[in-house]
A and B are shown apart, each in its own frame.
Chain A
């Protein structure tokens, strides 16, 4: 008789424990999902920022602009052949 009660008690305890575990796991899932979402949002924000910076960088580095600055502001030009010496090996 006592054995049987023991078994039942253990089973009840295990059921309760697993029920609590389900609750816990469920809660944990949500919590980590929220954390994941936050991380993803942060990642997206950074990606966006990166894209924007890249855009800005490449706008500043447009060849039209560099070309113009080099020629007009800095007075640069491509050396003509007269200014080039080739070193014989």
Chain B
């Protein structure tokens, strides 16, 4: 013990120096710790985070658009864009041919491109290319070439539903049609998260979620893809056959007001819109108005029957086929003489309709048209929808009452006209149109407008059936096995100086099966230039072809059993016999 004590005390000064040095060292370390961890903590933490922690967006998917059966109409899918940093790429000149081949560019062109952007740090080599191809390019591992993920919207049906769906811009924001109308519903909300990045900007760790991305919701439309295609095909064929300027067709479900198909010509392909101008994008069936012509006559007759002054049997003198109102002349295509109200529809007599309109109060006529939706937008939600024009009854002069009775002096869209015809299909009630699938009948609250008494609606429907039967103007709209009710319209187009003599609109509006209506369709063909222009001849067959297909696809049983009687069989032998006779006839 004493020996040690002696040792300790041997160098007291040195001991003191060493101890002091150590304690100063320890204290300064301690101070440094306090300084870093307490005094300057916030500042240092911020600086550190600023160098490594980043907030990045998590991309939300845009919702799909589907048809009523869940078939996709618009899907967003990721694609890759290849970009390069020319400054880095310059260092590996020997690999350029390889790169040019992979991105599908001529080597000469790539060289020129890179030379022109040599001072920049960013140039696109290929935008929105297929991910497989992008992966192949990246597998070359050429320095300075990177990928950027983008979303692109695809429309599997292409031209068939181009107008209806519209399209989105490069940032996936709706620009036209349904894409625009339901933009908020379809678009998701991008989320964000905090991540740790390394020196090269690569994410090394996810730290926390700040906001969860909300993907867009899927939208179910009332459209049936099969019927949409059918309508597209038939309309396109008709527009081509008659060398028409344009055309529209609308197909509605009577019970729910759902739009099953809506097509226009000329159409466009939303997947590649290069070199197309704005008027090509218009959904004409909703945005363009036309004078409905004779297709208004059923409403004239309905107004007349509603007043009680007329019955379907009331005689009307239409001879001599012309009628002078003030300085104007109303003409029929020929002199029908004395006919009853039914025949006014069947023969489409302008004089007859004018006489009816002049015999009833203008307000009653106006009320029927207004309640049927003329002059009011359908509230379908499609952007750019037109309301059409229906002037007030108080401003009508006699000639206006007369021309209105056969559909001049008011305007409507094909969609409006189809909606208005629902009155004749649903016992006088107006069925409002919708583009969204209705899951059950109770989901949609709507104030039901009784446009006319149910009996009147039924009477007019029976007259519309006559118009399609032999002796009517719309015989080309017949469908074998079904009873069809409909009205033709051949409208003189309004030109620079009044109505033009040789430029027409051909219209057909009808419903089937007439005994218990399921579908309504309006076909409008603008300026057929092949020589034929009557609504019954140009638009009627389109109606018949689409309607026949639609009734078959929707499994609607035939209601015109009378015409099918020769094709009926009760037993197995009858079946064979019936088939044999027809085969015999065929040969």
Contact = CB atoms under 8 A, between A and B. Distances in A.
The dominant DSSP class at the B interface is mixed
Given A63-B225, A85-B568, A87-B569, A48 B77 contact: yes
A62 B579 contact: no
B233 A55 contact: no
A25 to B, nearest CB: 13
A13 to B, nearest CB: 24
A55 B154 contact: yes
A37 B71 CA distance: 31
Interface string B186-223: 00000001000000000001111100000000000000
A2 interface: no
Interface stretch (B1-9, B155-163, B169-177, B295-303): B155-163
Contacts of B157: 58, 62-63
Contacts of A51: 64, 75-77
A84 to B, nearest CB: 6
Contacts of A36: 209
B569 A55 contact: no
A85 B585 CA distance: 15
Contacts of A33: 206-209
Given A33-B208, A51-B75, A62-B157, A86 B567 contact: yes
A58 B75 CA distance: 11
Contacts of A37: 193, 206
Contacts of B574: 85
A82 B233 CA distance: 25
Nearest to B226: A63
A81 B568 contact: no
A77 to B, nearest CB: 13
B207 A63 contact: no
Contacts of A64: 158, 160, 229, 233
B77 A82 contact: no
Interface string B567-585: 1111000110011001001
A30 B225 CA distance: 47
A50 B480 CA distance: 43
B586 interface: yes
A37 B209 CA distance: 9
B564 interface: yes
B377 interface: no
B61 interface: yes
B205 A34 contact: yes
A37 B203 CA distance: 12
B480 A81 contact: yes
B569 A86 contact: yes
Contacts of A63: 157, 160, 225-226, 229-230
Contacts of A83: 579, 582
Given A33-B207, A81-B481, A82-B582, A55 B75 contact: yes
Interface string B146-158: 0000000010111
Contact of A85 (B207, B208, B578): B578
Contacts, number: 79
Interface in A60-89: 62-64, 67, 78, 81-88
Q: Which of A47, A55, A67, A86 has the most CB of B within 10 A?
A: A86
A75 B205 CA distance: 60
B315 interface: no
A64 B585 CA distance: 33
B78 interface: yes
Contact of B207 (A30, A47, A54, A81): A30
Interface in B67-83: 71-72, 75-78
A18 interface: no
A85 B61 contact: no
Contacts of A15: none
B156 A59 contact: yes
A52 B75 CA distance: 8
Given A37-B206, A55-B72, A63-B225, A88 B568 contact: yes
Contacts of B585: 82
Given A51-B77, A87-B570, A88-B570, A62 B154 contact: no
Contacts of B579: 83, 85
A85 B481 CA distance: 12
Interface in A28-48: 29-30, 33-34, 36-37, 47-48
Contact of B575 (A67, A81, A85): A85
B565 to A, nearest CB: 9
B569 A85 contact: yes
A86 B582 CA distance: 13
A87 to B, nearest CB: 6
A49 B585 CA distance: 55
B423 to A, nearest CB: 31
Contacts of B552: 78
22 contacts: A29-B208, A30-B207, A33-B206, A33-B208, A34-B205, A34-B206, A36-B209, A37-B193, A37-B206, A47-B61, A48-B77, A54-B72, A55-B77, A58-B71, A58-B156, A62-B156, A63-B230, A64-B229, A64-B233, A81-B480, A85-B568, A86-B568
Interface of B: 61, 64, 71-72, 75-78, 154, 156-158, 160, 193, 205-209, 225-226, 229-230, 233, 480-481, 549, 552, 558, 561, 564, 567-570, 574-575, 578-579, 582, 585-586
Given A37-B193, A63-B226, A83-B579, 15 more contacts: A33-B206, A33-B209, A51-B77, A55-B75, A55-B154, A58-B72, A58-B156, A58-B157, A62-B156, A62-B158, A64-B158, A64-B160, A64-B229, A67-B233, A87-B570
Q: Which 9 A/B pairs are nearest by Cβ-Cβ distance?
A: A63-B229, A58-B156, A82-B582, A88-B570, A37-B206, A85-B578, A86-B568, A51-B77, A81-B480
